[in-house]
Structure 1
Amino acid sequence: MLDLIVHTLAWMLSLCTPRPRGRHRLGAVPPLRIIPVAPPPPRFTERLDGNACRVVRPYVLDPAEHRRQRDRRRAARLATYGIDVGPKHIHGVRVPAATR
């Protein structure tokens, strides 16, 4: 009885599913074609001279730049709360406090 059920299910599946044709048919797999690729050219051909430029430490700020950076960060933090502390002068013209 079990054999009859298996054969019936196999017959119904063969009617519902397409039969494999062409490349999708089971069998020998064609060999892969390997295409040789040239290696990429080198990016840097000359060595850099470390003594040619002076050492710059961007994290060292003078007091004026440190103050401007602190003001920018403060303005950004207050902007998240909806408080505008924009510039007092725009293009050399003083901006009233009500529009800031």
Structure 2
Amino acid sequence: MTQHPAAIYKDHLKPFLFSKLEEFIVLGYKDVDLEELWSYLENKKWKKKQEYPMHEMVADILSVKIGEFMNYATVQSFKTSAFLDSEDGKNMLDELLK
């Protein structure tokens, strides 16, 4: 798989990523990690595999809303079969099938 063009800037963007993660912690979302946030940005904000100006990438990072991120994370968890094998996944599936 080819690397996303934004990946070359990841180290330069880390201060902004950590700032956003700290904001999530203040809002009560302590389990979000850097790789999950980066995945969201690559797959949702920067869907087009093109180079973006650094200032646009910074603005995109700082404008991420927790609701948008959590919607993405929820969909991703449903896409993985590991979720359905977990206790929470089995309970949710049982509730849906009632």
| TM-score normalised by the chain length of structure 2 | 0.20
Query: Normalising by the residue count of structure 1, what TM-score does the alignment of the two structures yield?
Result: 0.20
RCO (CA 8 Å, sep 6+): is it higher in 1 or 2? Answer: 2
More helix by share: 2
